[in-house]
């Protein structure tokens, strides 16, 4: 071995000459374990991100279908057409809908219960939505007056029963 330039102790060798270059087996294993743990954590995070994205995308498409059905139904001016239902084609979905109309306790207010089913190449779903409409365009003034008289009679009977 080569001696250090310091000649004070001739039996002593320089420490930098004794050091070996490279990593020990334990250091390599620790590095591999840390790397594997990091990859596992990031892959799980990425998987969860994709799952969340798919859920948001499905929810968004479901919300879009509901909005389109509501727009279609609110644009109909004839009550008979509204109650008979219809079919809409949106992208790869066929949407079948049917509406039922019910008067409610409030004057000139109607509840429209809509049952719609979307059938696509990959999935099919059936949903219901209820809309409350005040003086819809398809309501006839004579019907509104008749409903108004019925409601007033019901209220008067209820008032008489309380006395």
Domain with 112, as residue range(s), is 25-162
Looking at residue 104, which CATH number applies to its domain? 2.20.130.10
How far apart are the two ends of the chain, measured CA to CA in Å?
Answer: 119
Q: Is residue 1 part of a domain?
A: no
If one counts the domains in the chain, the total is 1
Residue 134 inside a domain? The answer is yes
**According to the model, what pLDDT value does residue 158 have?**
86
Q: What backbone torsions phi and psi does residue 94 show, to the nearest 5 degrees?
A: -105, 125
- Name the band, by pLDDT with cuts 50, 70 and 90, for residue 34: very high
Cα 54 to its chain centre, rounded Å, is: 9
Within a domain: 53: yes
**Residue scoring higher pLDDT (120 or 74):** 74
Segment 104-125 shows an average pLDDT of: 78
Structural domain includes residue 10: no
Question: For the whole prediction, is pTM greater than 0.85?
Answer: no
Q: Residue 37 has what pLDDT? A: 95
pLDDT attached to residue 66: 80
In a domain, 3, yes or no: no
What are residue 106's phi and psi, to 5 degrees? -75, 145
List C-alpha distances in Å: 124 to 1, 65, 83, 152: 82, 12, 23, 45
| The pLDDT of residue 80 | 83
């Amino acid at each position: 071995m080569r001696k250090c330039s310091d000649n004070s102790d001739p039996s002593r060798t320089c420490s930098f000459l004794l050091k070996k270059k490279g990593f020990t087996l334990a250091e390599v294993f620790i590095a591999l374990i840390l790397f594997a743990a990091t990859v596992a954590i990031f892959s799980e995070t990425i998987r969860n991100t994709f799952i969340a994205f798919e859920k948001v995308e499905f929810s968004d498409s479901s919300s879009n279908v509901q909005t389109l059905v509501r727009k279609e139904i609110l644009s109909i001016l004839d009550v008979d057409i509204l109650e008979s239902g219809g079919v809409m084609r949106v992208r790869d979905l066929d949407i079948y809908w049917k509406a039922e109309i019910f008067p409610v306790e409030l004057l000139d207010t109607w509840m429209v219960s809509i049952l719609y089913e979307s059938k696509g190449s990959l999935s099919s779903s059936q949903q219901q939505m209820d809309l409350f409409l005040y003086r819809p365009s398809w309501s006839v003034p004579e019907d509104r007056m008749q409903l108004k008289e019925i409601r007033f009679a019901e209220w008067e009977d209820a008032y008489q029963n309380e006395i």
